[in-house]
Amino acid sequence: MPPARDIMAHRGDDDEVCPVCKSSRYLNPDMRFLINPECYHKMCESCVDRIFSSGPANCPVAGCHKTLRKNRFRKQTFEDINVEREVDIRRRVMQILNRREEEFDSKRAYDDFLEQREEIIANLVHGTDVAKTESDLQRYAADNMRSIRANQALEAQEASSFREQQTHEQELARLRREAARLEYENERKEMLAGREDVLSRLAAGRPGDAAAIAREGHKVLLKKSSARRSEEDRIRQKQAALRNSDARKAGQGALTTADRADDSGDSGLIKGLKKIKTPEPEKPYDPFGGLIPNKRDYYTLRDHYPNSYLDPIRQDTRMQAGGYDLQEYYSRTLMEAFAGLGCFIDEEVSKREVTSTMGISRPVATQGAALAAVSSAGAPEASS
């Protein structure tokens, strides 16, 4: 960032003299300096008007050939022009790389993303690899338009709800102060009234009663103030609960709107984003739970097989009446004729001895876990 460094070197004078027209603040106390984020060369307002009013033009600073537009000139926020520039870059990058923590698979992935973003910012600030970094950024911006917009909207919403919450809290604080003031006044009034009451009673009564009357008056006061205090407590609790529920509501709002708008699971540039699950359309109910009834690969089951051994059964009305079903026998014998024909123990068993996983399988799953478990425990030695 050579231009910035130049500027930095003459900073002291620049406050007073426009580097372009050399007019000085001394002569013109109203003079205002402006910068353009293209090159961050500072010049006075009248120079800007003069040079850029008729359209884009080159920066008048010697050696800087950036084309500048008038509408992009603005006032400097930070005294240090380097900071100004970095903040601009940061703002721009963060507007594009605006992924949120909840979009990542893990905290780790999010941290990696933050690091990556810092690196990109640093690259742009320090001018390393600018061309590539810029093009990456542009490509990302183009590819992830929807997600960027959605997250921007979310941020805006959060910011506004934060503001709302702040004003709400301020309002509450004001109300609390008001209440405290009122309370104090009430207390004072009551105390005065009580004192007057005691005085009038003393005036009316016999002198011997004075102590008793004073004691009584004090008691009444205490009672009143303790009742008031518990009432205040209740109100305070109520308010606290209200605040909490408000906060919770806000949180929920954020969560529900945080649903991803972008479906491109991996953005190319950023790794570790959660795969976006578009809710699957509800499948029709499958009474068989995913299994296919009567599916056979080695044979086609018939309704009848000639078999003299079974003929007596076909004639035996008693067996028939009991429900004995030859179809079940056909089905079973043929199933057993082929179940495992294509299981090559030699291959599969040696495979399961090698492909061992961790020691113990959770007993939650069924067949898959059972198979996995069979090939587990102590197997590392088996391969030796």
Contact 257, 154 (CB under 8 A): yes
Cβ proximity to another protein: between 231 and 353 the closer is 353
Q: Which is nearer to another protein, 54 or 367 (CB)?
A: 367
Provide the token pair at 291: 């299994």
List, in sequence order, every residue forming a beta bridge with 67; answer none if it has no partner: 58
Tell whether residue 233 is a contact of another protein (CB under 8 A).
no
* Cα 63 off chain centre by: 45
9 to 48, contacts with another protein by CB under 8 A? none
For residues 205 and 359, which CB has a smaller minimum distance to another protein in the complex? Answer: 359
Q: Which residues contact 137 (CB under 8 A, 6 or more apart)?
A: 93, 96, 97, 120
Interface with another protein by CB under 8 A: which range of 115-123, 178-186, 225-233, 373-381? 373-381
**Footprint of another protein on 134-173 (CB under 8 A):** none
By CB under 8 A, tell whether 264 contacts another protein: no
Q: CB of 276: closest distance to another protein in angstroms?
A: 23
Closest to another protein by CB, 57 or 377: 377
Amino acid sitting at position 30? D
Segment interacting with another protein, rule: CB under 8 A, options 70-78, 148-156, 245-253, 320-328: 320-328
* Min separation Cβ 297 and another protein, Å: 4
In angstroms, rounded to a whole number, what is the distance separating the alpha carbons of residues 129 and 25?
A: 39
Question: Residues 326, 313: contact at Cβ < 8 Å?
Answer: yes
Structure tokens at 84: 């100004």
255 phi/psi in degrees, rounded to 5: -65, -45
Contact stretch for another protein (CB under 8 A) within 20-28, 185-193, 228-236, 291-299: 291-299
Looking only at residues 328 through 357 of this chain, which bind another protein when binding is defined by CB under 8 A? 328-346, 348-350, 352-353, 356
Indicate the residue among 56 and 359 with the shorter CB distance to another protein: 359
Rounded least distance, CB 319 to another protein, Å? 5
Question: Is 27 in contact with 52 (CB distance < 8 Å)?
Answer: no
* Candidate ranges 53-61, 107-115, 198-206, 325-333; the one touching another protein (CB under 8 A): 325-333
Rounded distance, CA 325 to CA 28, Å?
111
Residue 177: Cβ within 10 Å count: 10
- Which of 46, 41, 45 lies closest to 58, judged by CA? 41
**Interacting span for another protein (CB under 8 A) from 66-74, 89-97, 113-121, 289-297:** 289-297
Report how far residue 256's alpha carbon sits from residue 7's, in angstroms, rounded to the nearest whole number.
48
Contact residues for 187 (Cβ-Cβ < 8 A; gap 6+): 225, 228
Which residue, 181 or 332, has its beta carbon nearer to another protein?
332
DSSP-derived letter for residue 18 is -
Q: Does 300 bind another protein (CB under 8 A)?
A: yes
Contact call for residue 317 and another protein (CB under 8 A): yes
Site string for another protein, 42-81 (x = CB under 8 A): ----------------------------------------
The yes or no reply on residue 361 touching another protein (CB under 8 A) is yes
What's the CA gap between 379 and 283, in Å, rounded?
Answer: 41
249 is an interface residue for another protein by CB under 8 A: no
Q: 1 vs 377, which CB is nearer to another protein?
A: 377
Piece in contact with another protein (CB under 8 A), picked from 11-19, 203-211, 269-277, 368-376: 368-376
First to last CA, the chain: 61
> From the CB of residue 143, how many other CB atoms can be counted at a distance below 10 Å?
15
- Give the residue with the Cβ less far from another protein, 182 or 354: 354
Smallest separation, CB 82 to another protein (Å):
54
- CB of 2 or CB of 284, closer to another protein: 284
3-state secondary structure at position 43 = strand
Do 258 and 85 touch, CB atoms closer than 8 A?
Answer: no
By rule CB under 8 A, what count of residues binds another protein?
81
